[in-house]
Amino acid sequence: MTMLQPAPPVTTAPAPKQKKAPLPLWPNGWFGINLGYPDWYNGGIEWEDHAHRRGDWQKALSSGAAVQPPVLAAVDAADNPTESASAQLIGQFNYPGGPYTFTGPSDAKLLGPGVVSGAGSAYVLNGTGGVSAFLPTGGGPVSLTPASPAGDLFTAQFLSMLDSVKPAIIRAGQWQRINECGQDTRQGWLPDWEGRAKLTDSRWAADQGTPFELIIALASQTKAWPWVYIPHLADETYVRGMAALFRDAKLPGLFVEFSNELWNAFLSPGAWAKTNGGKKPGIFAGQQAARAFDWWNAEWKDDRTHFVCMGALVDRGVFLSDMLSQLGGRPTVTGCSGYVPVSVTKYLGLADKGKSLTPAQLLADMQENMIDVLASVRAHVAIGDAIGAKTALYEAAPSAIPSGRPWANAALALDQLPEMQSFARDLLVGLRGAGADYMNWFDLCGDPSTQSGSFGLWYDYLTSTKKLAGVREALGLS
């Protein structure tokens, strides 16, 4: 996801040509959902990974409370603390309440308002309060998982949330941690086929991302097509291994994209493309994608696999055209974003002036910006039409983020305005009318730790937004 301004208005955008019928997706045929970071959706994913995105282990007092002011605890090569330490595992938001299994050093324990009862490895959590792990003498790793019935990979609530929109596509970029690939940070990782994430790992959603087998299992259970990513730093062994794994899964269809947002230099893949491609990052990205797609085809060339090439909403197709010039007809799906932002620069000075915004003001701004977004989508549709490719939107959503801006409170209230139902409906109808064959809503659930009126059809595990009703209306589900 990238925070971008709408491109300047286009006075004459090319009308979409008549296309072939969409690929045989079902049940809705064209609507998909982005899968956010999976920590709290999945019965087998440890909360410890969520904690690492919130912060690291802190030095702790004998009571289990963190030393104040906070001080990072010393850790070993595996990031396990070597002294008394604590870390928040669950923030104060709605999550699955009930029995949990906790593993860690023999003297480790769970603390916090979310703990109803428990000791050792068995705890009961209330589903609303925060929970921290306390390691009196250090050690690790720790894990905390809902005590789901043996063999269940997904919680019933997660599957119910998905079923509320019956997606034909499940986009798994965040499950793969694709944007962190190559990052020169603690969260960064490098593709390694032998070291890839596996179902037998003690932790998921860290390092190499979520196991591909989990994506396949969800696709098989929901009958949706996965949208997966080849990491930009993957070698031939990795790409061919990935292709063979999905080939053997015998899924009805698959979207495969080479990395994510390669035009966006604020993300690791885009920075790589800019560094190596100079003034023409799209040319370089296209050359690298062509090589990766050829490696994939060497292992599995099949009509069920649809290679994807995405452009930038803000440039009216320049990056996409540059990439396609190097791809020789390999992609069968092209496209861009369908994300409708608030005009960030318009409001940057408000905090200094002591002014605030209302939800209605944000809504009016997004309604105005939708016009420009639809024009950009039509321009990308024309590029796809010229090579006989379908058009997909890797993300589509109204959003009033970034959080922390002077309008954060208004943005949070915005999602519960009754008018947001019609806005979400009109956005999907408009994007389809602009010629998009497929689109992925970004995303199923907004990050509960940074609720700011952002993206998700659900705020958290229990609370939906008005946008959900609008999407269901557009899909004919209500």
Inter-CA distances, 412 with 40, 375, 449, Å: 21, 28, 12
When pLDDT is averaged across residues 239-256 and rounded to a whole number, the result is 95
Q: What is the mean pLDDT of the chain?
A: 83
Per-residue b/e over 85-99, b at no fewer than 16 CB within 10 Å?
bbbbbbbebebbbee
Q: Amino acid identity, residue 181?
A: C
Tokens standing for 216? 């396949």
Per-residue b/e over 206-232, b at no fewer than 16 CB within 10 Å?
bbbbbbbbbbbebbeebebbbbbbbbb
pLDDT bracket for residue 226 (50, 70, 90): very high
Q: In 10 A of CB 287, how many CB atoms?
A: 16
Q: What pLDDT digit, counting tens, does each position of 424-435 carry?
A: 999 999 999 999
End-to-end CA distance of the chain: 29
pLDDT above 50 for 468: yes
pLDDT bracket for residue 149 (50, 70, 90): low
pLDDT above 70 for 46: no
pLDDT above 60 for 448: no
Residues 6+ apart with CB under 8 A from 140: 78, 79, 80, 81, 104, 105
pLDDT bracket for residue 157 (50, 70, 90): confident
pLDDT at 303: 85
Q: Provide the 3-class DSSP secondary structure of residue 34.
A: strand
**What is the helix (H) or strand (E) element at residue 228, kind and residue range?**
strand 225-230
**Which carries the bigger pLDDT value, residue 237 or residue 145?**
237
Instruction: Tell me how far apart the alpha carbons of residues 78 and 82 are, in angstroms, rounded to a whole number.
Output: 11
pLDDT at 27: 39
When pLDDT is averaged across residues 16-34 and rounded to a whole number, the result is 59
Q: What pLDDT digit, counting tens, does each position of 305-336 carry?
A: 999 999 998 888 999 999 999 999 899 999 99
When pLDDT is averaged across residues 470-476 and rounded to a whole number, the result is 92
Task: Please tell me the least confidently modeled range out of 33-42, 122-131, 283-292, 408-417.
Answer: 33-42
Asked if 32 and 434 touch (Cβ cutoff 8 Å), the reply is no
Q: What pLDDT digit, counting tens, does each position of 83-118 carry?
A: 999 988 887 666 778 888 898 999 999 999 999 999
Q: Amino acid identity, residue 469?
A: A
- Burial classification of residue 68, based on how many CB atoms lie within 10 Å of its CB (0-12 exposed, 13-18 middle, 19 or more buried): exposed
**Which carries the bigger pLDDT value, residue 144 or residue 292?**
292
pLDDT at 79: 81
Asked if 71 and 87 touch (Cβ cutoff 8 Å), the reply is no
Number of H helices, E strands in the chain: 12, 16
